[in-house]
Structure 1
Amino acid sequence: MFRSDRLVKWRKRKKLTQEQLAIKVNITKASISNYENGHSAPPHETLVALADFFGITTDYLLGRTNATFPQVKGKSNHFVLGIGERIKKLREQTGLNQLELSKKIGMNNSVLSRIESGKRPVEHDEINQFADFFMVTGDYLLGRTDPDMDNNLLNSEYVKLIKNPEETLFFREYLESSEECKKELRHFWKIIKDAEKGRKLEDRQGE
């Protein structure tokens, strides 16, 4: 979901009016007003243009993270490889066909097919959904970063994880949860991990 409040915050931080920002990113003042009032959300190209202008991540503007600064320099190359092509690339690297992926993320197979072929735009919530599932950033999907996919993202352990039916079900339910619920789950998981570290430390001390 596009965070209109964050757009307002960064526009004001730059001490710009809506009209001045609109000129900077080559859109209309009415568009900026609609984005800030929550009447509409910017298309991908405008989302990337805003992130480029402010020097922040698209993930931040989409509410996926509180981290603002991207690991990119210069202008985005989002026209080199489209979002549908990147989704297809990720799917193929995990060894999933379109039907398998659509079932795992709860999306109609024909919709996924149209997204991958570039015949249907990807909604902001869907960007978050794909990014969460493949454990990549929205910036990557939108072409602002180009991480080493083979070495950094889709390793064999992750591929095993998403092919496990029970773990896939849990992951899908996690994706469909509210942001507040996700935050609580991550908090509980940290408690469990800290407790596990404590138990391992006690084992070492008893040796």
Structure 2
Amino acid sequence: MLAGRANTTELSYDTFYASDPKTLVLSCLGAMGNGKSSLLNAICDEQIYRTGRGAEPITKHVESVLRPWANPPISRYCQFIDTPGMCDSSVRDRENMQECVRYFKSLSFGVSAFLLVFNINDTRLDAYTQNMLNLFEQLLGREFWKYVILVFTHVDENIRDLLEDNIDVLEDPNEGFVSELRRVFKLDKRTFDPPMVFLPM
């Protein structure tokens, strides 16, 4: 079937994969500057999304591309959705998330997984982070937690001892990051046990 589409335009190619139930749909969510765009660029093995540092967000609207999963290579097409970073501005954050929700609702088969991106050097569930996650839950629904993958970025391999200590703390079954999420958001251990990924970007 795909061979017969080799000469189609990029638009129709994207339309085909966007409406294919086998296409994975991944969306990055998180605070500004935690590496959401860099993560998606790494998975695509292509500089698709703009990245940078500064006081103002680089990604200001929902951006989406369809690409094969390239790193590591698997034989699946994916729709990668980058979203504006939460920036502790209640009005702007709510507007950004409302745009995200509208986009998610327009998808043929919804979102396969939400990549919640955190900087490993700042994993406190402080008031700002709790408000951000509360907003996600409020606008995406309680079911949102079932599709969460936790991604920790800025993992520095050069400070191995500190890195291992940080990871051990995050993975602690009684007092770690997931346990704290369960406590704060009243999540059931039987249904909320998300994968945790640690990346250097």
Give the TM-score normalised by the residue count of structure 2: 0.25
- Larger relative contact order (CA 8 Å, sep ≥ 6): 2
Return the structure number with greater strand share.
2
Give the TM-score normalised by the residue count of structure 1: 0.24
Return the structure number with greater helix share.
1
